[in-house]
C-alpha cells in the first residue's frame, strides 16, 4: 500500500511539472474555475484556425438583464494565440455572467467599438464599425475581424473532464478580393487604365452581428500592379458580405463612358455554385469563404482600332467558377 501511494504521488507530480513546462491546453482545469474557449472553424476547410490567425480578443460580459458587467481582453505581442486557447472568467463575477459577446482582431487603425459602462450599458448598445473615412471610402488593408457570441441557449459543457470550459465559435467579418483583368488575345493591359470599387452597406455591426446602419461604404484597391503573367491585378479588402444587401462590383475604364463591369456579386455567387458547396446557403458560403479571386476576360470593342476603343467584358471567373457576362447593369 505504501509503495502504491508513492508511485501515485510521483505520477501526479510528473503531471503537474509537465503542465508548468508545456502548453497548458491539455492539463486539468481547476474545478472551481470557469473558462471560455475560442474556435474559428466556420470556414470552408472546416478546421479550427483560431490559433493560426488570431492575436487579440475582447470578451464583453453581460448579466441576465443584458447589462454590461466587464470586458476581458488578451493579446499576443508576436504571433497568434496557442492552440485550444482559453480565457478565465474572474471568480467575483462568474455567477453573474449570462451573455458573452466576443470580437477578435479589433485594431484601432481600422475599427471602432463602443465603450460600455459597467452597471449601465445594455448589450443592444454595443456596436463595432469601421473608423470614419473620407466619403466612407476604404482604400487600405483592413485588419481581419472575427465575431462570436455565447447565449444561454447555446451553452453546453465540453466534456466530463472539462465541464467548466465553454466554447465560443467565431465567424470572420472581413474579406480579401484579388481582381485580375486579362485580354482575350493575351495582349498586355495597364491596370492604371481602370478604376475598381466594391460598394456595400456593411460598415457597422450590432451585438448580434447585424448591420447597424444604412450607410454605403466604398472599398477601393490598396494595391494595383501589372503582372506580365496574370494581367492587370487589383487587391482590396471589405467587411462582411450579406445576402440581403447588394454587394456591387464596379470596374470602370477611365477613358470609357460606361462601366466595364457593374454587377451585384450576390447574383453571380448564386449562379456559380460548385456541387461541393451546393448544400450551403448563399450566406453561409459567403461567411465561410473569406478570400475571392475574380478573373475577368475582356476584349476590345473594335478590333480594327485596338489602341483607341473601349474594352468590353466577356466572362467572369470567381474562385474557379466561370460564366459569360450576359448583361452589364448601369
Alpha helices in 22-180 (DSSP H): 50-53
Relative to beta strand 194-200, strand 248-253 is antiparallel
Strands (E), 105-214: 111-113, 128-130, 137-138, 146-150, 165-169, 171-172, 174-183, 194-200, 204-205
For position 301, what pLDDT does the model report? Answer: 72
Q: What is the pLDDT of residue 270?
A: 83
In the DSSP assignment, the letter for residue 79 is S
Question: Which ranges in the chain belong to alpha helices (H)?
Answer: 2-21, 50-53, 265-271, 282-288
Report the Cα–Cα distance between both ends of the chain, in Å, rounded.
87
pLDDT value of position 156:
54
CA nearest 126: which of 143, 107, 113, 109?
A: 113
3-state SS string for 14-44: HHHHHHHHCCHHHCCCCCCCCEEEEECCCCC
**Which pLDDT value is given to residue 241?**
95
Measured at the CA of 249, the angle between CA 246 and CA 255, to 5 degrees, comes to: 140
Dihedral pair phi/psi, residue 62, rounded to 5°: -130, 155
- What is the residue-level pLDDT of the chain in tens, covering all 330 positions? 444 444 444 444 444 444 444 444 445 445 568 999 999 999 999 999 999 999 999 999 999 999 999 999 999 999 999 999 999 999 999 999 999 999 999 999 999 999 999 999 999 999 999 999 999 999 999 999 999 999 886 655 444 345 689 999 999 999 999 999 999 888 889 999 999 999 999 999 999 999 999 999 999 999 999 998 889 999 999 999 999 999 999 999 998 888 999 999 999 888 776 667 888 999 999 999 999 999 999 988 765 555 556 889 889 999 888 877 754 444
Number of H helices, E strands in the chain: 4, 22
pLDDT at 139: 97
* Cα 191 to Cα 228: distance, rounded to the nearest angstrom: 11
- pTM of this prediction? 0.84
Closest by Cα among 149, 147, 51 to 99: 149
Q: Rounded CA gap, 66 and 75, in Å? A: 26
Amino acid at each position: 500500500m505504501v509503495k502504491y501511494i508513492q508511485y501515485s504521488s510521483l505520477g501526479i507530480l510528473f503531471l503537474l511539472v509537465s503542465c508548468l513546462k508545456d502548453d497548458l491546453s491539455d492539463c486539468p482545469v481547476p474545478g472551481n474555475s470557469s473558462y471560455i474557449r475560442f474556435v474559428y472553424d466556420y470556414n470552408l476547410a472546416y478546421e479550427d484556425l483560431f490559433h493560426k490567425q488570431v492575436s487579440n480578443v475582447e470578451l464583453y460580459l453581460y448579466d441576465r438583464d443584458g447589462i454590461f458587467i466587464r470586458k476581458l481582453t488578451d493579446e499576443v505581442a508576436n504571433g497568434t494565440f496557442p492552440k485550444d486557447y482559453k480565457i478565465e472568467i474572474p471568480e467575483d463575477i462568474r455567477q453573474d455572467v449570462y451573455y458573452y459577446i466576443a470580437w477578435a482582431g479589433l485594431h484601432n487603425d481600422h475599427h471602432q467599438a463602443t465603450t460600455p459602462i459597467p452597471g449601465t450599458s445594455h448589450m443592444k448598445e454595443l456596436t463595432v464599425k469601421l473608423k470614419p473615412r473620407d466619403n466612407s471610402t476604404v482604400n487600405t488593408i483592413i485588419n481581419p475581424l472575427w465575431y462570436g457570441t455565447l447565449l444561454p441557449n447555446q451553452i453546453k459543457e465540453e466534456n466530463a473532464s472539462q465541464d467548466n470550459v465553454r466554447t465560443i465559435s467565431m465567424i470572420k467579418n472581413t474579406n480579401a478580393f484579388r481582381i485580375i483583368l486579362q485580354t482575350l488575345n493575351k495582349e498586355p493591359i495597364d491596370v492604371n487604365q481602370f478604376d475598381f470599387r466594391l460598394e456595400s452597406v456593411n460598415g457597422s455591426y450590432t451585438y448580434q452581428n447585424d448591420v447597424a446602419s444604412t450607410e454605403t461604404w466604398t472599398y477601393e484597391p490598396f494595391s494595383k500592379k501589372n503582372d506580365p503573367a496574370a494581367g492587370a491585378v487589383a487587391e482590396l479588402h471589405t467587411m462582411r458580405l450579406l445576402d440581403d444587401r447588394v454587394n456591387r462590383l464596379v470596374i470602370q475604364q477611365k477613358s470609357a463612358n460606361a462601366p466595364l463591369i457593374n454587377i451585384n456579386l450576390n447574383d453571380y455567387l448564386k449562379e456559380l455554385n460548385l456541387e461541393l458547396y451546393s448544400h450551403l446557403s448563399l450566406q453561409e458560403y459567403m461567411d465561410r469563404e473569406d478570400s475571392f479571386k475574380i478573373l475577368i476576360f475582356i476584349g476590345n470593342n473594335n478590333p480594327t482600332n485596338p489602341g483607341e476603343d473601349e474594352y468590353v467584358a466577356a466572362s467572369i471567373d470567381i474562385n474557379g467558377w466561370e460564366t459569360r457576362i450576359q448583361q452589364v447593369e448601369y
